[in-house]
Structure 1
Amino acid sequence: MTGSLAAVAAFSMALGGILASDRLFLGLLKHLLNCPMQIFQEHSMGQFINRYSSDIAEIDFIVPFTIRSMVNILLQLASVLGLILYAVPAFGIIIPILVILYYVLQRFYVATSRQLKRLESTLRSPIFSHFGESISGVSTIRAYGQQSRFISDSERKVDVNNQCYFPSIVSNRYVFL
Protein backbone atom coordinates (compact mmCIF):
# COMPACT_ATOMS: atom_id res chain seq x y z
CA MET A 1 0.00 0.00 0.00
CA THR A 2 2.74 2.44 0.95
CA GLY A 3 4.69 1.67 -2.22
CA SER A 4 1.69 2.30 -4.44
CA LEU A 5 0.97 5.61 -2.66
CA ALA A 6 4.60 6.63 -3.10
CA ALA A 7 4.41 5.75 -6.80
CA VAL A 8 1.21 7.76 -7.23
CA ALA A 9 2.78 10.71 -5.40
CA ALA A 10 5.94 10.54 -7.55
CA PHE A 11 3.89 10.30 -10.74
CA SER A 12 1.70 13.22 -9.66
CA MET A 13 4.75 15.36 -8.87
CA ALA A 14 6.38 14.51 -12.21
CA LEU A 15 3.23 15.20 -14.20
CA GLY A 16 2.55 18.43 -12.31
CA GLY A 17 6.16 19.54 -12.82
CA ILE A 18 5.98 18.88 -16.56
CA LEU A 19 2.68 20.72 -16.94
CA ALA A 20 3.86 23.68 -14.84
CA SER A 21 7.17 23.87 -16.70
CA ASP A 22 5.42 23.76 -20.07
CA ARG A 23 2.95 26.45 -19.07
CA LEU A 24 5.61 28.74 -17.64
CA PHE A 25 7.94 28.13 -20.61
CA LEU A 26 5.25 29.15 -23.08
CA GLY A 27 4.32 32.18 -20.96
CA LEU A 28 7.95 33.32 -20.77
CA LEU A 29 8.38 32.78 -24.51
CA LYS A 30 5.20 34.76 -25.29
CA HIS A 31 6.34 37.70 -23.15
CA LEU A 32 9.85 37.57 -24.58
CA LEU A 33 8.57 37.66 -28.16
CA ASN A 34 6.29 40.60 -27.33
CA CYS A 35 9.09 42.74 -25.86
CA PRO A 36 9.91 45.99 -27.64
CA MET A 37 12.92 45.93 -29.98
CA GLN A 38 14.78 48.42 -27.76
CA ILE A 39 15.24 45.73 -25.09
CA PHE A 40 16.91 43.43 -27.62
CA GLN A 41 19.25 46.24 -28.64
CA GLU A 42 20.21 47.05 -25.04
CA HIS A 43 20.89 43.45 -23.95
CA SER A 44 22.82 40.68 -25.64
CA MET A 45 21.10 37.50 -26.72
CA GLY A 46 23.38 35.62 -24.31
CA GLN A 47 21.82 37.48 -21.37
CA PHE A 48 18.33 36.45 -22.49
CA ILE A 49 19.32 32.83 -23.03
CA ASN A 50 21.22 32.67 -19.74
CA ARG A 51 18.32 34.10 -17.73
CA TYR A 52 15.70 32.08 -19.59
CA SER A 53 17.55 28.78 -19.23
CA SER A 54 18.33 29.36 -15.55
CA ASP A 55 14.67 30.12 -14.82
CA ILE A 56 13.47 27.03 -16.66
CA ALA A 57 16.13 24.87 -14.96
CA GLU A 58 14.98 26.17 -11.58
CA ILE A 59 11.38 25.29 -12.42
CA ASP A 60 12.30 21.84 -13.74
CA PHE A 61 14.74 20.72 -11.05
CA ILE A 62 14.42 22.73 -7.86
CA VAL A 63 10.72 23.56 -7.52
CA PRO A 64 9.38 19.94 -7.62
CA PHE A 65 11.87 18.78 -4.97
CA THR A 66 11.09 21.84 -2.86
CA ILE A 67 7.36 21.14 -3.04
CA ARG A 68 7.89 17.47 -2.17
CA SER A 69 10.09 18.44 0.76
CA MET A 70 7.53 21.00 1.94
CA VAL A 71 4.70 18.45 1.85
CA ASN A 72 6.82 15.92 3.77
CA ILE A 73 7.75 18.49 6.41
CA LEU A 74 4.15 19.66 6.82
CA LEU A 75 2.93 16.09 7.25
CA GLN A 76 5.67 15.37 9.78
CA LEU A 77 4.84 18.59 11.63
CA ALA A 78 1.15 17.69 11.75
CA SER A 79 1.90 14.21 13.09
CA VAL A 80 4.34 15.49 15.73
CA LEU A 81 1.93 18.20 16.88
CA GLY A 82 -0.87 15.63 17.00
CA LEU A 83 1.21 13.33 19.19
CA ILE A 84 2.29 16.18 21.48
CA LEU A 85 -1.28 17.43 21.85
CA TYR A 86 -2.46 13.91 22.56
CA ALA A 87 0.21 13.44 25.24
CA VAL A 88 0.13 16.98 26.70
CA PRO A 89 -3.13 18.78 25.88
CA ALA A 90 -1.99 21.95 27.71
CA PHE A 91 0.63 22.45 24.98
CA GLY A 92 -2.23 23.65 22.75
CA ILE A 93 -2.07 26.98 24.58
CA ILE A 94 1.59 27.50 23.68
CA ILE A 95 1.30 26.59 19.99
CA PRO A 96 -0.28 29.91 18.84
CA ILE A 97 2.46 31.86 20.65
CA LEU A 98 5.15 29.77 18.94
CA VAL A 99 3.48 30.25 15.55
CA ILE A 100 3.45 34.04 15.98
CA LEU A 101 7.08 34.05 17.12
CA TYR A 102 8.10 31.91 14.16
CA TYR A 103 6.22 34.20 11.76
CA VAL A 104 8.02 37.30 13.07
CA LEU A 105 11.43 35.63 12.89
CA GLN A 106 10.73 34.29 9.42
CA ARG A 107 9.78 37.72 8.08
CA PHE A 108 12.99 39.18 9.49
CA TYR A 109 15.05 36.33 8.03
CA VAL A 110 13.52 36.56 4.53
CA ALA A 111 14.15 40.31 4.30
CA THR A 112 17.73 39.95 5.54
CA SER A 113 18.47 36.95 3.35
CA ARG A 114 17.11 38.68 0.26
CA GLN A 115 19.34 41.71 0.80
CA LEU A 116 22.41 39.57 1.48
CA LYS A 117 21.80 37.53 -1.68
CA ARG A 118 21.36 40.73 -3.70
CA LEU A 119 24.60 42.19 -2.37
CA GLU A 120 26.48 38.94 -2.87
CA SER A 121 25.35 38.58 -6.49
CA THR A 122 26.16 42.25 -7.17
CA LEU A 123 29.65 41.78 -5.76
CA ARG A 124 30.16 38.52 -7.66
CA SER A 125 30.00 40.21 -11.09
CA PRO A 126 33.33 42.09 -10.71
CA ILE A 127 35.05 38.79 -9.89
CA PHE A 128 33.89 37.17 -13.14
CA SER A 129 34.57 40.34 -15.10
CA HIS A 130 38.11 40.64 -13.72
CA PHE A 131 38.76 36.95 -14.35
CA GLY A 132 37.55 37.18 -17.95
CA GLU A 133 39.62 40.30 -18.59
CA SER A 134 42.66 38.65 -17.03
CA ILE A 135 42.29 35.56 -19.20
CA SER A 136 41.89 37.60 -22.38
CA GLY A 137 44.89 39.79 -21.52
CA VAL A 138 47.15 37.14 -20.04
CA SER A 139 49.92 37.68 -22.61
CA THR A 140 50.04 41.43 -21.89
CA ILE A 141 49.96 40.85 -18.13
CA ARG A 142 52.91 38.43 -18.42
CA ALA A 143 54.79 40.75 -20.79
CA TYR A 144 54.69 43.57 -18.24
CA GLY A 145 55.27 41.27 -15.24
CA GLN A 146 52.01 42.27 -13.52
CA GLN A 147 50.87 38.79 -12.44
CA SER A 148 51.09 39.56 -8.72
CA ARG A 149 49.02 42.75 -9.11
CA PHE A 150 46.26 40.91 -10.96
CA ILE A 151 46.31 38.05 -8.46
CA SER A 152 46.02 40.48 -5.52
CA ASP A 153 43.19 42.37 -7.31
CA SER A 154 41.36 39.08 -7.79
CA GLU A 155 41.88 38.07 -4.15
CA ARG A 156 40.64 41.48 -2.98
CA LYS A 157 37.47 41.16 -5.08
CA VAL A 158 36.85 37.66 -3.67
CA ASP A 159 37.37 38.97 -0.12
CA VAL A 160 34.85 41.77 -0.70
CA ASN A 161 32.37 39.24 -2.09
CA ASN A 162 32.89 36.95 0.92
CA GLN A 163 31.96 39.80 3.25
CA CYS A 164 28.38 39.30 2.02
CA TYR A 165 28.58 35.58 1.29
CA PHE A 166 29.59 34.46 4.79
CA PRO A 167 26.77 36.36 6.58
CA SER A 168 24.34 34.78 4.12
CA ILE A 169 25.60 31.29 5.02
CA VAL A 170 25.51 32.11 8.74
CA SER A 171 21.93 33.40 8.49
CA ASN A 172 20.90 30.18 6.71
CA ARG A 173 22.49 28.09 9.46
CA TYR A 174 20.79 30.20 12.14
CA VAL A 175 17.32 29.65 10.72
CA PHE A 176 17.76 25.90 10.22
CA LEU A 177 18.99 25.15 13.74
Structure 2
Amino acid sequence: IFAKAAGYGNMLQAVGLFVVIQGCQIGTNIWLQNWIKVAATSTHGIGYYMGIYTTLIIIFMGLMFCASYKILVMACVQAADRLHSKLLTSILRMPMNFFDTTPIGRILNRFSSDIFSIDEMICWTFFDMFLFGTSVIGSLVVIATTTPIFLAIVPPVFVIYVLVMSYYIAASRAFKRIESVARSPMYQHFSETLSGVSTIRVVGCSQRFIDENASRSDDSSNAHFVWAMGNRWLN
Protein backbone atom coordinates (compact mmCIF):
# COMPACT_ATOMS: atom_id res chain seq x y z
CA ILE A 1 0.00 0.00 0.00
CA PHE A 2 2.78 2.43 0.92
CA ALA A 3 4.80 1.62 -2.20
CA LYS A 4 1.73 2.15 -4.36
CA ALA A 5 1.01 5.50 -2.71
CA ALA A 6 4.65 6.55 -3.03
CA GLY A 7 4.67 5.63 -6.70
CA TYR A 8 6.25 2.53 -8.20
CA GLY A 9 8.37 4.77 -10.41
CA ASN A 10 9.93 6.47 -7.39
CA MET A 11 10.60 3.13 -5.75
CA LEU A 12 12.24 1.65 -8.85
CA GLN A 13 14.41 4.73 -9.24
CA ALA A 14 15.44 4.47 -5.59
CA VAL A 15 16.36 0.80 -6.01
CA GLY A 16 18.41 1.66 -9.09
CA LEU A 17 20.24 4.40 -7.20
CA PHE A 18 21.07 2.07 -4.32
CA VAL A 19 22.37 -0.56 -6.74
CA VAL A 20 24.68 2.03 -8.29
CA ILE A 21 25.69 3.19 -4.79
CA GLN A 22 26.64 -0.35 -3.83
CA GLY A 23 28.59 -0.76 -7.07
CA CYS A 24 30.42 2.50 -6.38
CA GLN A 25 31.25 1.36 -2.86
CA ILE A 26 32.60 -1.96 -4.11
CA GLY A 27 34.59 -0.13 -6.78
CA THR A 28 36.08 2.15 -4.13
CA ASN A 29 37.24 -0.83 -2.07
CA ILE A 30 38.69 -2.55 -5.14
CA TRP A 31 40.55 0.61 -6.17
CA LEU A 32 41.95 1.03 -2.65
CA GLN A 33 43.07 -2.60 -2.60
CA ASN A 34 44.73 -2.21 -6.00
CA TRP A 35 46.45 0.97 -4.82
CA ILE A 36 47.96 -0.88 -1.85
CA LYS A 37 49.15 -3.76 -4.06
CA VAL A 38 50.96 -1.64 -6.66
CA ALA A 39 52.07 1.21 -4.41
CA ALA A 40 55.71 0.06 -4.40
CA THR A 41 56.04 -0.65 -8.15
CA SER A 42 53.59 1.78 -9.77
CA THR A 43 54.84 4.50 -12.09
CA HIS A 44 51.92 6.75 -11.15
CA GLY A 45 52.22 9.23 -8.34
CA ILE A 46 50.10 9.26 -5.21
CA GLY A 47 48.01 12.07 -6.68
CA TYR A 48 46.74 9.76 -9.44
CA TYR A 49 45.37 7.16 -7.04
CA MET A 50 44.17 9.73 -4.53
CA GLY A 51 42.35 11.67 -7.25
CA ILE A 52 40.42 8.63 -8.49
CA TYR A 53 39.70 7.49 -4.94
CA THR A 54 38.40 10.95 -4.01
CA THR A 55 36.27 11.05 -7.17
CA LEU A 56 34.67 7.72 -6.27
CA ILE A 57 33.94 8.97 -2.74
CA ILE A 58 32.33 12.15 -4.08
CA ILE A 59 30.20 10.14 -6.52
CA PHE A 60 29.18 7.83 -3.68
CA MET A 61 28.13 10.75 -1.47
CA GLY A 62 26.25 12.43 -4.33
CA LEU A 63 24.35 9.26 -5.16
CA MET A 64 23.52 8.71 -1.48
CA PHE A 65 22.11 12.23 -1.30
CA CYS A 66 20.02 11.63 -4.43
CA ALA A 67 18.71 8.31 -3.07
CA SER A 68 17.86 9.89 0.29
CA TYR A 69 16.06 12.76 -1.44
CA LYS A 70 14.18 10.37 -3.71
CA ILE A 71 12.87 8.24 -0.81
CA LEU A 72 12.64 10.55 2.20
CA VAL A 73 11.43 13.64 0.34
CA MET A 74 9.74 12.76 -2.94
CA ALA A 75 8.38 9.24 -2.37
CA CYS A 76 7.54 9.49 1.34
CA VAL A 77 5.94 12.93 1.15
CA GLN A 78 3.82 11.78 -1.79
CA ALA A 79 2.80 8.61 0.05
CA ALA A 80 1.97 10.49 3.27
CA ASP A 81 -0.13 13.04 1.39
CA ARG A 82 -2.06 10.42 -0.56
CA LEU A 83 -2.69 8.12 2.40
CA HIS A 84 -3.77 10.99 4.67
CA SER A 85 -6.10 12.35 2.00
CA LYS A 86 -7.55 8.89 1.42
CA LEU A 87 -8.09 8.36 5.15
CA LEU A 88 -9.67 11.79 5.61
CA THR A 89 -11.94 11.33 2.60
CA SER A 90 -13.08 7.93 3.89
CA ILE A 91 -13.84 9.33 7.36
CA LEU A 92 -15.78 12.31 6.00
CA ARG A 93 -17.92 10.03 3.82
CA MET A 94 -18.87 7.72 6.68
CA PRO A 95 -22.55 7.66 7.77
CA MET A 96 -23.52 9.20 11.09
CA ASN A 97 -23.98 5.84 12.79
CA PHE A 98 -20.24 5.22 12.29
CA PHE A 99 -19.43 8.10 14.64
CA ASP A 100 -22.06 6.89 17.12
CA THR A 101 -20.52 3.41 17.34
CA THR A 102 -16.80 4.23 16.92
CA PRO A 103 -14.99 5.81 19.89
CA ILE A 104 -13.49 9.20 19.11
CA GLY A 105 -10.18 7.99 20.56
CA ARG A 106 -9.90 5.33 17.87
CA ILE A 107 -10.36 7.93 15.13
CA LEU A 108 -7.83 10.26 16.76
CA ASN A 109 -5.43 7.34 17.01
CA ARG A 110 -5.64 6.77 13.26
CA PHE A 111 -4.87 10.43 12.52
CA SER A 112 -2.09 10.77 15.09
CA SER A 113 -0.04 7.68 15.87
CA ASP A 114 -0.75 5.79 12.66
CA ILE A 115 -0.09 8.83 10.46
CA PHE A 116 3.14 9.38 12.41
CA SER A 117 4.18 5.81 11.62
CA ILE A 118 3.59 6.46 7.93
CA ASP A 119 5.44 9.79 7.99
CA GLU A 120 8.44 8.60 9.99
CA MET A 121 8.85 4.90 10.69
CA ILE A 122 7.78 3.42 7.36
CA CYS A 123 9.87 5.94 5.40
CA TRP A 124 13.03 5.02 7.26
CA THR A 125 12.12 1.33 7.07
CA PHE A 126 12.02 1.51 3.27
CA PHE A 127 15.27 3.48 3.22
CA ASP A 128 17.04 0.92 5.43
CA MET A 129 15.55 -1.97 3.47
CA PHE A 130 16.94 -0.67 0.18
CA LEU A 131 20.29 0.33 1.70
CA PHE A 132 21.01 -2.86 3.63
CA GLY A 133 19.35 -5.11 1.05
CA THR A 134 21.63 -3.94 -1.75
CA SER A 135 24.57 -4.03 0.66
CA VAL A 136 23.92 -7.68 1.52
CA ILE A 137 23.48 -8.63 -2.13
CA GLY A 138 26.64 -6.76 -3.08
CA SER A 139 28.59 -8.47 -0.30
CA LEU A 140 27.36 -11.89 -1.43
CA VAL A 141 28.41 -11.14 -5.00
CA VAL A 142 31.90 -10.11 -3.89
CA ILE A 143 32.27 -13.14 -1.63
CA ALA A 144 30.99 -15.46 -4.37
CA THR A 145 33.68 -14.21 -6.76
CA THR A 146 36.49 -14.54 -4.22
CA THR A 147 35.39 -17.47 -2.03
CA PRO A 148 32.68 -19.49 -3.81
CA ILE A 149 32.64 -22.19 -1.12
CA PHE A 150 31.10 -19.64 1.23
CA LEU A 151 27.85 -19.80 -0.75
CA ALA A 152 27.26 -23.30 0.63
CA ILE A 153 26.21 -21.91 4.01
CA VAL A 154 23.94 -19.20 2.57
CA PRO A 155 20.82 -21.42 2.04
CA PRO A 156 20.67 -22.81 5.61
CA VAL A 157 21.32 -19.36 7.09
CA PHE A 158 18.57 -17.93 4.88
CA VAL A 159 16.12 -20.64 6.00
CA ILE A 160 16.89 -19.95 9.67
CA TYR A 161 16.43 -16.23 9.10
CA VAL A 162 13.05 -16.77 7.42
CA LEU A 163 11.88 -18.99 10.29
CA VAL A 164 12.92 -16.41 12.89
CA MET A 165 11.28 -13.62 10.91
CA SER A 166 8.01 -15.51 10.51
CA TYR A 167 7.95 -16.17 14.25
CA TYR A 168 8.72 -12.53 15.01
CA ILE A 169 6.23 -11.01 12.54
CA ALA A 170 3.29 -12.92 14.03
CA ALA A 171 4.19 -11.79 17.55
CA SER A 172 5.03 -8.23 16.50
CA ARG A 173 1.71 -7.86 14.68
CA ALA A 174 -0.14 -8.92 17.83
CA PHE A 175 1.93 -6.59 20.02
CA LYS A 176 1.30 -3.67 17.67
CA ARG A 177 -2.44 -4.35 17.67
CA ILE A 178 -2.48 -4.45 21.48
CA GLU A 179 -0.56 -1.17 21.62
CA SER A 180 -2.98 0.50 19.23
CA VAL A 181 -6.02 -0.76 21.16
CA ALA A 182 -4.51 0.43 24.46
CA ARG A 183 -3.72 3.88 23.08
CA SER A 184 -7.22 4.68 21.81
CA PRO A 185 -8.89 4.89 25.29
CA MET A 186 -6.19 7.33 26.40
CA TYR A 187 -6.92 9.64 23.45
CA GLN A 188 -10.65 9.32 24.01
CA HIS A 189 -10.37 10.17 27.70
CA PHE A 190 -8.16 13.17 26.98
CA SER A 191 -10.59 14.45 24.34
CA GLU A 192 -13.56 14.05 26.67
CA THR A 193 -11.68 15.74 29.51
CA LEU A 194 -10.69 18.65 27.30
CA SER A 195 -14.24 19.22 26.10
CA GLY A 196 -15.72 19.07 29.61
CA VAL A 197 -12.94 20.63 31.66
CA SER A 198 -15.20 23.41 33.00
CA THR A 199 -17.81 20.94 34.24
CA ILE A 200 -15.14 18.75 35.82
CA ARG A 201 -13.80 21.68 37.83
CA VAL A 202 -17.27 22.81 38.92
CA VAL A 203 -18.29 19.40 40.29
CA GLY A 204 -14.85 18.82 41.86
CA CYS A 205 -13.93 15.66 39.95
CA SER A 206 -10.48 16.79 38.84
CA GLN A 207 -8.58 14.18 40.85
CA ARG A 208 -10.74 11.34 39.57
CA PHE A 209 -10.04 12.34 35.98
CA ILE A 210 -6.33 12.74 36.73
CA ASP A 211 -6.22 9.23 38.19
CA GLU A 212 -8.14 7.82 35.23
CA ASN A 213 -5.76 9.52 32.80
CA ALA A 214 -2.77 8.10 34.68
CA SER A 215 -4.29 4.61 34.60
CA ARG A 216 -4.95 4.72 30.86
CA SER A 217 -1.50 6.17 30.22
CA ASP A 218 0.03 3.28 32.17
CA ASP A 219 -1.92 0.76 30.10
CA SER A 220 -0.72 2.42 26.89
CA SER A 221 2.89 2.59 28.11
CA ASN A 222 2.85 -1.08 29.15
CA ALA A 223 1.59 -2.13 25.73
CA HIS A 224 4.21 0.04 24.00
CA PHE A 225 6.95 -1.45 26.20
CA VAL A 226 5.98 -4.99 25.20
CA TRP A 227 6.06 -4.00 21.51
CA ALA A 228 9.44 -2.28 21.90
CA MET A 229 10.94 -5.27 23.71
CA GLY A 230 9.70 -7.52 20.92
CA ASN A 231 11.68 -5.43 18.45
CA ARG A 232 14.76 -5.56 20.67
CA TRP A 233 14.44 -9.35 20.83
CA LEU A 234 14.79 -9.51 17.05
CA ASN A 235 17.79 -7.17 17.11
How many residues in Structure 1 have an aligned counterpart in Structure 2?
168
Question: Distance between the aligned counterparts of 2:114 and 2:178, measured in 1?
Answer: 20
**Separation of aligned partners in 2, 1:120 and 1:104:** 24
Q: State which drifts further: 80-89 or 158-167.
A: 158-167
- Residue 99 of structure 1 corresponds to 158
Q: Deviations over 1:40-64 (max 9, x none)?
A: 1223555424422333322222222
Find the aligned partners of 2:161 and 2:100 in 1 and give their Cα distance: 46
Amino acid at match of 2:64: A
Call closer, same or farther: CA 1:168–1:78 in 2, change over 3 Å.
same
Show structure 2 runs of 5+ residues with no match.
1-58
Mapped to 1, the partners of 2:227 and 2:144 lie a distance apart of: 36
Q: Tell me the CA shift for residue 8 of structure 1.
A: 1.9
* Secondary structure, counterpart of 1:35 in structure 2: coil
> 1:85 corresponds to which letter in structure 2?
A
1:10 aligns with 2:79: no
1: CA distance between counterparts of 2:222 and 2:144?
Answer: 44
Higher RCO (Cα < 8 Å, 6 or more apart) = 2
TM-score (normalised: structure 1): 0.68
TM-score, L = length of structure 2: 0.54
**Alignment check: 8 A CA contact 2:185 2:216 kept:** yes
Within 1, Cα distance between the matches of 2:172 and 2:226? 9
Is 2:106 aligned against 1:21?
A: no
Query: 1:1-177 residue pairs with structure 2 within 5 A?
Result: 1-13=59-71, 14-43=73-102, 45=104, 47-120=106-179, 122=181, 168-176=227-235
User: 2:110 is matched by which residue type in structure 1?
Assistant: R
State the Cα deviation string for residues 76-104 of structure 1 (Å, max 9, x = none).
Answer: 21122223323321122221222122111
Percent identical among aligned pairs is 29
Distance change >3 Å, CA 154–CA 3, structure 1 → 2: closer
What is the deviation of 1:73?
0.9
Matched letter for residue 171 of structure 2: T
- Residue ranges of structure 1 left out of the alignment (5+ in a row): 142-146, 148-152
